Structure 1
């Protein structure tokens, strides 16, 4: 029987209502979309921000929008390039925050895990949703020490994918200033200088400075000078603000591409932390790679591994880092790791030496390209409520921190009790289980691009669509 127009219309309305009901159920219990409002999780997740390009080196980076500082919502304030250090005031269109998807029911099927990026109701203002990284679980004792996280007295090492996301650039010779004599590389009007000092050997530089060669009969060093270049302070370019006083990050990484020109060459890198010198060294005369520690005039081989013989000129990527009390060294497809310790004091303390150092090592003949230096994310304790002292969590209590540690209101800073239902109170600094909403798992709409600086039409930033890594 043929339906009347009225019956067909009623059927369409019924389907729309059913679809709407299913959409509401899906949003309420399965997946919900959120827009990141602030930069407390930057650079992992960005709130409203400005996407900038350094006028000198061409490095692209983001600076957060702060309503209190940015009177004109379309103009970025004075900022500093995180790679070459150039100071500039840039007019740029404001870009909206990342939009993410959150699994709302996942914690009904599994327990929250450390390093999850999760959404919860702010215990001090339950009508506001917050997004942070979960770092402390029920019953644990949390201790933030010199930027690192300790759980029940043991260091909590970040999973590899999360660590890779958290490395912050300090230097790259792929981004060198085009006008180094311009006096805008410090507030004192300094010009740019190559931030390295040579110790031993003969070093040469290409005209543009992006290739460095070494010829040396013994181990020579190219030492990074953190006084001349960007320092290792807990500075986040996203915040357009200076480093916190006394907060120096000593978890560092060096990477480069090396062209090996003889079969007896030795290449690597060294990192000085707490007065101990750690070296990752590949010796092609012995066909071995080593992790070595030097302290108080004594040298100790921590680990070694065979590497393939070098039969001809070859270009290889090298990476060496010291993060979360663990050394990691890789050359091509060969890699070596060594755990230095797990408790505070196992590898020394900041008082032993406040000045970290990182250097490139070479013996023989080699050419280096794509040299970059990075520092790890550093949890700030300067001036926060729950910093250097251990903090105990009770049953069904979690501890949350933002990746943008200097600019995150989180468990470290809350100074009043949480507000519960029926007049109940929660301990200061905790996220109660009942306020946990879900786990963020995807950036489905990153901050949009625009055809023109003053353009109104947003362009999907497809290249930044990504999964959000957690525990």
Structure 2
């Protein structure tokens, strides 16, 4: 009789087991992704810039060599192939015309074509999102072009079934009512144009900081990387001290500026012709665009009349303060509209707040000024309109704000004042109507403080999308059927959408689904190998995000 002894099983070595587990995990993950994509989701890649900056098509990442502001600039897929061949074969770079302008400091002639090209955002789209409900207003959707079903588009829903949609003054109206964006959509759709940067004018007086303090001995410190305020040192502070953003551009512009001048100097030749930088008529000295420092010094050298010299210096200053327009770093200068904008969004983070004073954030549109006051003495938050001391909104902080770090978002989008603290609404949004004659906005933001000490980081300004009607005048209203949607691209100047299609409505049957996330993000990096330049894709998980 033979006996068989049961022995302990032979276990694989730890290294072999770990390797096998990793391989099996990847295989199972791949199978799960394939099943998920086959039945519940589908991947799409953005190729155009019609939804920028929310979703990016082929683009290049630009870092301004002067102020360090980083922004995406649209790039064509076709041109990049030619550029790559030329770089690799002939070791040269294409220098495009200087149509790249930094939104933050207005520097032009930024090298562009030599930067690596990055592919567009890749979307994971939930294909069954709209089987049991319709898309909501301001949701991003993917749908098939009704005229060419093989083409898939991604746009934002602006009009719902049965509504009459009209674009007027850059806004969307449904059945005559202004459509206002919720805070999460505002954050996704805003177009940044300014960030606090410490800079000095130097020898070139055309280049000046947009951030200024009014007082010569201000308690604001703006000489470092980030602004700081110390209202606790020295005597008790009574008046609020302000840090102001003024939209200073160094050159160009299409705006008009004028200053008073009683008479033209007798001994000075009168400016004539279209090539003259200034014009004089009816007691006003005027120019279009920026009056450069070179032109200013030229006119000052030609005439020593005190009144004329004062007017020239005033015109120099005023012409550099340009109205805000629907400009985007993603588009070329030729694609910049001439529409003035007045709906702004500011965000920043407060650090190490101490004291019992207050912080006041003032935002202006073309007819109103709103102030959000954070009072650390009374632990109150107040929203004031214009010069009225009675708040239109008010609340007590519950729970008390942590003073080590406070994130603040304040906006005036769609004629509505919205304030958020640490990501959550602090007050009920306040809708309002425009009052008085609209004026171009050149100084949209002031940040004031009294009897506090704190630091500020990530101080930025952005604007709302200005929806261009794509017609010489505001386009007539569009009546939607019971199964139709009106869609718009976030990059309004260049987007092809319901504003221009012969059949503007998107039928419900054309819907593909709802984009969930930007996944598998990557950026291009340039490497040299065997004497040649090669653009390679490397993961960039900072671009992975939920689509809002």
On whether the aligned pair clears a TM of 0.5, the verdict is yes
Asked if 1 retains the 8 angstrom alpha-carbon contact of 2:142 and 2:153, the reply is yes
Per the normalisation by structure 2, the TM-score is 0.67
Q: Is 1:445 equivalent to 2:468 in the alignment?
A: no
> What is the CA–CA distance in structure 2 between the aligned matches of 1:434 and 1:335, rounded to whole Å?
36
Match of 2:482 among 391, 395, 398: 395
Counterpart in 2 of 1:191? 207
Match of 2:48 among 16, 23, 38: 38
Structure 1 residue 157, shift from structure 2 partner: 3.1
Match of 2:363 among 258, 271, 289: 271
Counterpart in 1 of 2:396? 306
> What is the CA–CA distance in structure 1 between the aligned matches of 2:203 and 2:123, rounded to whole Å?
41
C-alpha RMSD of the superposition? 3.7
CA gap 1:432/1:133 in 2 versus in 1, 3 angstroms: same
> What is the CA–CA distance in structure 1 between the aligned matches of 2:449 and 2:33, rounded to whole Å?
61
Asked if 2 retains the 8 angstrom alpha-carbon contact of 1:83 and 1:230, the reply is no
Cα offsets for 1:230-268 (capped at 9, x unmatched):
8632111111336311231323324242554532x1212
> What is the CA–CA distance in structure 2 between the aligned matches of 1:67 and 1:337, rounded to whole Å?
45
Please say which structure displays the higher CA radius of gyration.
2
Counterpart in 2 of 1:433? 508
Taking the TM superposition and a 5 Å limit, the aligned residue runs for 1:121-160 are 121-160=144-183
CA gap 1:383/1:196 in 2 versus in 1, 3 angstroms: farther
CA gap 1:154/1:251 in 2 versus in 1, 3 angstroms: farther
Asked if 2 retains the 8 angstrom alpha-carbon contact of 1:48 and 1:96, the reply is yes
Counterpart in 2 of 1:354? 440
CA gap 1:139/1:73 in 2 versus in 1, 3 angstroms: farther
Counterpart in 2 of 1:340? 430
Counterpart in 2 of 1:211? 227
SS in 2 for 1:437: strand
Cα offsets for 1:314-352 (capped at 9, x unmatched):
6644432222333233456995324333xxxx4216843
SS in 1 for 2:509: helix
Match of 1:84 among 105, 108, 118: 105
Asked if 2 retains the 8 angstrom alpha-carbon contact of 1:282 and 1:290, the reply is yes
Cα offsets for 1:174-206 (capped at 9, x unmatched):
x445x86486xxxxx932334335269824435
Taking the TM superposition and a 5 Å limit, the aligned residue runs for 1:29-428 are 30-66=40-76, 73=83, 77=96, 78=98, 79-87=100-108, 88-90=110-112, 91-173=114-196, 175-176=197-198, 181=202, 190-198=206-214, 202-205=218-221, 207-208=223-224, 210-213=226-229, 215=231, 216-228=237-249, 232-241=324-333, 243-257=336-350, 259-263=352-356, 265-294=357-386, 298-307=388-397, 316-330=406-420, 336-341=426-431, 346-348=432-434, 351-355=437-441, 357-370=444-457, 372-381=459-468, 383-384=470-471, 387=474, 389-414=476-501, 416=502, 428=503
Asked if 2 retains the 8 angstrom alpha-carbon contact of 1:284 and 1:310, the reply is no
Structure 1 residue 388, shift from structure 2 partner: 5.6
SS in 2 for 1:457: strand
Asked if 1 retains the 8 angstrom alpha-carbon contact of 2:192 and 2:463, the reply is no
Counterpart in 2 of 1:18? none
Cα offsets for 1:396-430 (capped at 9, x unmatched):
1111111111220001122x2xxxxxxxxxxx311
SS in 1 for 2:185: helix
Structure 1 residue 113, shift from structure 2 partner: 2.4
Counterpart in 2 of 1:11? none
> What is the CA–CA distance in structure 2 between the aligned matches of 1:444 and 1:313, rounded to whole Å?
35
CA gap 1:51/1:202 in 2 versus in 1, 3 angstroms: closer
CA gap 1:123/1:309 in 2 versus in 1, 3 angstroms: closer
Structure 1 residue 389, shift from structure 2 partner: 4.2
Asked if 1 retains the 8 angstrom alpha-carbon contact of 2:229 and 2:452, the reply is yes
Structure 1 residue 312, shift from structure 2 partner: 12
CA gap 1:207/1:219 in 2 versus in 1, 3 angstroms: closer
Asked if 1 retains the 8 angstrom alpha-carbon contact of 2:348 and 2:460, the reply is yes
CA gap 1:362/1:119 in 2 versus in 1, 3 angstroms: same
SS in 2 for 1:270: strand
Per the normalisation by structure 1, the TM-score is 0.77
- What count of residue pairs does the alignment treat as equivalent? 424
> What is the CA–CA distance in structure 2 between the aligned matches of 1:70 and 1:226, rounded to whole Å?
34
Asked if 2 retains the 8 angstrom alpha-carbon contact of 1:386 and 1:413, the reply is no
Asked if 2 retains the 8 angstrom alpha-carbon contact of 1:451 and 1:459, the reply is no
> What is the CA–CA distance in structure 1 between the aligned matches of 2:82 and 2:229, rounded to whole Å?
48
> What is the CA–CA distance in structure 1 between the aligned matches of 2:422 and 2:47, rounded to whole Å?
41
5+ residue gaps in structure 2?
Answer: 1-31, 85-93, 232-236, 250-320
> What is the CA–CA distance in structure 2 between the aligned matches of 1:111 and 1:130, rounded to whole Å?
17
Structure 1 residue 372, shift from structure 2 partner: 1.8
SS in 2 for 1:238: coil
